[in-house]
Structure formats: structure tokens, C-alpha cells
Amino acid sequence: MINKFTQSTYQSICDKLAAADPDLAAIIKTYGYPPFWSRPNTFETLVHIILEQQVSLASALSALNKLKERLQELTPVRLLLLTDEEMRACYVSRQKSRYIKYLAEALLSGQLDLAELEGLPDDIIRAKLIAMKGIGHWTADVYLMFVLQHPGVFPVGDLAAINALKRVKNLPPDITKEEILAIVDKWRPYRTIAAMLLWHFYLSSPKNKGLNP
């Protein structure tokens, strides 16, 4: 059986991490527990995550809402009816339009089955997702964390999480990826929840208010 965290176990895991790491404890003491961030296992969710790649979360949400407004329901069949021009009118770049349409075709053909992913281990899920055009490790990480609630993931490619880690731990700006991995590995098997604590710290900073993972 695949290990997952749930809303009922979430705060107790935060407490376990806090007991072992005073820097994470300080986040909870100052800002409270992080929200239980989750997303449904749907085509729309994966489209949303693709749209979030390398842009602001607000821009991604704006594009997602435009697509939903145009289509009423964001499904693979309906998405494939849109022309490139209509996709651009929904603030979707040419490159991301190709990625999203490829994903829609993969789901319709059975090349990718989202329901099947729910019962698979991290490495197999990651391999299946990365085989899709436009899906890399960051997208796979967010899917594993937010959609499937797998507890052991840390998104090393996420700038917000890394910047929060540097501030919380008072780390040098030029710290290497290997040194970062050595730090976050101490949070196993709950690296996902540690990352959510770091996001909570980042988003609770006054300059970052109004954002959502």
C-alpha cells in the first residue's frame, strides 16, 4: 500500500518535524500550521501545474480561468477543439499549448492513466509523468505532493521552497544542491510536509501575501 499523508495526520506530522528541527518549530510558533494544500487528480489539475511552470502563480491561475471560461469544463476532448489562436487568447503560450494538447491526447489514448498513478510508487509515477512532453521533475514533484499526498518529496527545483530554506536556516546564497539535499534528507520520511512548512513561511512574509501554491 502506498504511504500517504491525510488531513487528519497532517498537523501531527508537522509536530514530529518541529520536535526534531527547531527551525521548523519556529515557523509553526510564528505563523501556525500551514494550510492542507491539495488538488484533485484531474486533467485540469495537471494543466494548472503546467501553466504554473516558470511564471507567477497569479498568471497561471488567470490562464486557467480563461480556459475554463472558454470551455465551461476543462476536459481533454474540449481542450483539443481549441485552435492555437484561441489558446493564445487564453494567455497560454505556444509552447505550453503544445504540452497541454499532448497531455490531452495521452489521456484520451490511454498512454497516461491518472487513476492508475494513485497506486504506484514515486519513482514509477515520476517516470510516467516525465515521459510526457512539457512535464519535468518540478511538475512531477508538485503532482506527487499536492495531488497524491506522498510524504517523502522535496521540490529541489522550487525557488520559493529553496529561498525559504536559506532564510530559515541562514544558509549562504551559494550553497550547492548537494548541501541542500543533505539538509532536507534529515526530514525523511516527511520531506513533503517540511516543504509545505517552508512554503508557509515564504507565503506568510508580507511581500509574498496573496499568493497560493
In a domain, residue 138? The reply is: yes
- pLDDT surpassing 80 at residue 213: no
Single pTM value for the model: 0.92
The answer as to whether 1 is a domain residue is: no
- How does pLDDT run across 53-109, given as a tens digit for each residue? 988 889 999 999 999 999 999 999 999 999 999 999 999 999 999 999 999 999 999
Does residue 2 fall inside a structural domain? no
The verdict on 86 and 130 lying in the same domain is: yes
**Residue 39: other Cβ atoms inside 10 A:** 17
Task: Find the mean pLDDT for residues 148-161.
Answer: 95
What are the C-alpha distances in Å from 13 to residues 1, 2, 22, 145, 160? Answer: 19, 17, 14, 14, 21
The boundaries of the domain holding residue 135 are: 43-147
Is the residue at 213 inside a domain? no
Q: Are residues 33 and 51 in the same domain?
A: no
Closest to 100 in 3D by CA, of 145, 68, 141, 57:
68
What backbone phi and psi angles, to 5 degrees, belong to 205? -65, 135
Structurally, the chain folds into a number of domains equal to 2
Query: Are residue 51 and residue 108 in the same domain, yes or no?
Result: yes
CATH number for the domain harbouring residue 67: 1.10.340.30
Average pLDDT estimate for 134-152? 96
Q: Look at residue 57 and tell me if it is in a domain.
A: yes
